[in-house]
Amino acid sequence: MALPAFALASGEEINHLKRENAEMKQMLMQMQEQLQEVMMKTNAMQQQAKKAAKEGDKKGGRVKSKKEDITISTTGGGIKVKSSKGNEFKIGGRLMYDYDSYDDFWASDDADDAEIRRSRITLSGKSGKNWSYKFTTNIDHEDNEANVDTGYLKYSSKPMYAMLGKYKRPGMLEERTSSKWISTIERSIINELSGAVIGKPDFGGISVGFATKGDMPMSGVVGVYDDQVDDPDDGGNIYGVGARFSIMPKLSGDSFIHAGASFYTVDYKGNNHRMRTRMGVHTTGRPFETDNHETDDINQFGVELAYVNGPFSLQGEFMNVESDGTDNAACGAAGTYTPGAAAIPAMEETVYQMDEDGDPVLDDAGNKVAEMEKYLVMQVATGEPDDPSTADDPSTTDINENIDESVKEVEVDLGVSQEDLEGYEVGQSFGAVADADDDGTVDADTTVDSTAVGDFIVRERALTRMTEAKAKVDEIFSDAPAKTCDIEMDGFYLQAAYTLTGETRGYKGGSGAFAAIKPKNEGGAWEVVARYEDADIDIPGRSLSADLERMVLGVNWYVNKNVKFMLNYVDSEVDGCTETARTFTADDGVTVPTDHGHTYKIKKCNNDDGQAFSLRGQYVF
């Protein structure tokens, strides 16, 4: 029987085949290891690609150059350009549209109104590690103009910094918090009443400050600021000095406390200053306003405190502002009083003819023409001889105007009316009128001789009447003194807020102010807020005072990082408005009337209350 060919192979060949088989197995194992390595690298590359895609969503596109990498981002709706060397440029802004419905506390009737409250574009950026800038312009749609809201240059060398330009003064937590992130549509009434020393100055200022981080962030600033008025002596600017310090002890988790204090002082150099407020509704007038008073110094001091525990926040501030008038003592000084003069008796006056328009009738010479009346006289012998040396006036029939000393005329009252005397000519003998020929005219021969003693004769003269007697002229009270009074304000607000969806209010330790609430889910964040405010105004030089109160209930919907809606119910009241009777001095023995109608009162202070609803829609980027 024949055997297979391989069976005839030698043992050496069999061993060779075994070696080749072992080598092939080793090669297969190496290839498997290399394949696994390739698969691991592929998976790693896939993970890196996914991560890069996610970062691309957050950071935007990336452009590389030989000198630096540049990242462009549109996260948040604005535009942000950032380089790998620390340079940065942003474009942002805000648009706020308000609607108010209010009652007659704010206006003469119930009304509603709407406005574009803020429309701003902001350019900001950094240059390297130390320099930064910000420029914001506000577009006034009502007046069709734009103005600079904020513009400053900042140098930082942590923890210190210095700023130059137009930006907010140091005072108040809620003023330092951006209007984008305050919890009520309007800031407090104490903020508005302190407007001369709170908020942005007219031009700007220069300040130095610091901001630390850690478990107890602190911030502070002191600066000099332009105060919007001119020096009356040389026309130069007037500058105020302000400072603020805040601290934020962290408790646990999302809990912390904020505490701070601020002050501001300025020499107003006699310029006018007043306090006024819209009482929580911006689209209408101001229910409270003092007169302008010439002012020397304005001093402000404030204390602020806040507590945050997760979604709950509580904040409050106390503010004192004292405006020192140029002469508070003279502001309410007693006036002078002049009593009424003695009685004026009745006087005889001539009655003049009037035309149909009620104007006096004038003769050719421009003199007023008197009304005339007729009367009767009787000639009486004097018993004196006529002096032939005195010449009679032939042009008059009045014997008393002729120089005839033998007779005189005496007026008699026979009860004859003017109507009965109309038919007589001047100089005629009364009762001697005759019309023998019955032609309707008095016969010419009825004129009597003026020397005929005992006859009643008709005469004529200008009509007169007696004026009414006057008791006295008006009393004279001196004008009110110059408005140079002190004005004082003490006030506070207390606010509680709760985020129903669990988010915590943002906070910026560098500026010691609250920031945005960032929604955690697609439905946005919902916040409810309640606030009570009270301010007392005093003008001690005139014993005037008023109490201002406002309560706000609100709900805020943070739809996302950009869109926010706010609804507020406002209940405001101006109460305790006093009115002080002026005092007057007079000479000894003269009593000043107590009820003279002269009083001091605050310009607008109407002891009333009102309710309003306000709605805001805002978009920020």
The pLDDT value recorded for residue 217 is 93
Asked whether the beta carbons of 166 and 204 are under 8 A apart, the reply is: yes
Q: pLDDT per residue over 272-301, tens digit each?
A: 999 999 999 999 999 999 999 999 999 999
DSSP 412-438: E-----HHHHTTSPTTBBTT----TT-
Q: pLDDT per residue over 102-135, tens digit each?
A: 999 998 899 999 999 999 999 999 999 999 999 9
The pLDDT value recorded for residue 401 is 56
DSSP 16-85: HHHHHHHHHHHHHHHHHHHHHHHHHHHHHHHHHHHHHHHHHHHH-EEEE-SS-EEEEE-GGGSEEEEETT
On average, the pLDDT of the chain sits at 86
Q: Which residue has the higher pLDDT, 268 or 472?
A: 268
Closest CA to 189 of 511, 552, 475: 552
The pLDDT value recorded for residue 31 is 67
pLDDT-derived band at 199 (thresholds 50, 70, 90) equals confident
The pLDDT value recorded for residue 372 is 93
The pLDDT value recorded for residue 289 is 96
pLDDT-derived band at 440 (thresholds 50, 70, 90) equals low
Q: pLDDT per residue over 231-252, tens digit each?
A: 888 888 899 999 999 999 999 8
C-alpha pair distances (Å), 424 with each of 111, 370, 377, 415:
76, 20, 13, 16
Task: Give me the residues paired with residue 17 across strands.
Answer: none
Q: pLDDT per residue over 458-496, tens digit each?
A: 899 999 988 877 766 678 888 888 899 999 999 999 999
* Reduced 3-state DSSP string for 564-611: EEEEEEEEEEEECCCEEECCEECCCCCCCCCCCCCEEECCECCCEEEE
- How far is 132 from 122, CA to CA, in rounded Å? 13
What are the backbone angles phi and psi of residue 572, rounded to the nearest 5°?
-120, 150
Please name the helix (run of DSSP H) or strand (run of DSSP E) that holds residue 190, with its range, or none: helix 189-193
Angle at 160 between CA 158 and CA 161, to 5 degrees: 105
Angle at 195 between CA 258 and CA 300, to 5 degrees: 60
- How far is 223 from 225, CA to CA, in rounded Å? 6
Q: pLDDT per residue over 314-356, tens digit each?
A: 999 999 999 999 999 899 988 889 888 777 788 888 999 999 9
Share of the chain above pLDDT 70, in %: 84
Mean pLDDT of 19-32: 70
The pLDDT value recorded for residue 133 is 97
DSSP 109: S
Q: Which residue has the higher pLDDT, 528 or 396?
A: 528
Q: Which residue has the higher pLDDT, 261 or 449?
A: 261
- How far is 354 from 544, CA to CA, in rounded Å? 54
Asked if pLDDT for residue 81 goes beyond 70, the answer is: yes
Work out the burial of residue 457: count CB atoms within 10 Å of its CB; fewer than 13 is exposed, 13-18 middle, 19 or more buried: buried
User: Strand 205-211 relative to strand 160-166: parallel, antiparallel, unpaired?
Assistant: antiparallel
Q: How is residue 491 written in tokens?
A: 């006030």
The region of weakest confidence among 3-12, 180-189, 309-318 is 3-12
DSSP 478-511: PPPPPS---EEEEEEEEEEEEETT----EEETTT
> Which residue matches tokens 């009364």?
430
Please name the helix (run of DSSP H) or strand (run of DSSP E) that holds residue 86, with its range, or none: none
pLDDT-derived band at 143 (thresholds 50, 70, 90) equals confident
Share of the chain above pLDDT 90, in %: 56
Mean pLDDT of 132-150: 89
Buried b (16+ CB within 10 A) or exposed e, 245-263: bbbbeeeeebebbbbbbbb
Q: Edge-to-edge strands of the sheet including 335-338?
A: 476-477, 335-338, 584-585
The pLDDT value recorded for residue 42 is 63
Asked whether the beta carbons of 273 and 487 are under 8 A apart, the reply is: yes
The pLDDT value recorded for residue 145 is 85
Q: Which residue has the higher pLDDT, 436 or 560?
A: 560
Asked if pLDDT for residue 99 goes beyond 90, the answer is: yes
Q: Helix, strand, or coil here: 267?
A: strand
Q: Which residue has the higher pLDDT, 525 or 480?
A: 525
Please name the helix (run of DSSP H) or strand (run of DSSP E) that holds residue 328, with its range, or none: helix 328-331
The pLDDT value recorded for residue 386 is 72
The pLDDT value recorded for residue 554 is 98
The pLDDT value recorded for residue 138 is 93
All domains in the chain, ordered by first residue: 76-327+482-620 (2.40.160.10), 345-469 (no CATH)
CB-based contacts of 442, cutoff 8 Å, min separation 6: 423, 424, 425, 428, 433, 434, 435
DSSP 445: G
The pLDDT value recorded for residue 13 is 63
- How far is 183 from 616, CA to CA, in rounded Å? 12
Mean pLDDT of 538-563: 97
Q: pLDDT per residue over 362-377, tens digit each?
A: 999 999 999 999 999 8
The region of weakest confidence among 25-34, 176-185, 415-424, 562-571 is 25-34
pLDDT-derived band at 261 (thresholds 50, 70, 90) equals very high
The pLDDT value recorded for residue 580 is 92
The pLDDT value recorded for residue 62 is 61
Q: How is residue 443 written in tokens?
A: 């016969």
Largest CA distance in the chain: 218
CB-based contacts of 57, cutoff 8 Å, min separation 6: none
Q: pLDDT per residue over 456-466, tens digit each?
A: 888 999 999 88
- How far is 556 from 451, CA to CA, in rounded Å? 111
The four Cα atoms 440, 443, 444, 447 give a dihedral, to 10 degrees, of -120
Question: Does the model's pTM come out above 0.85?
Answer: no
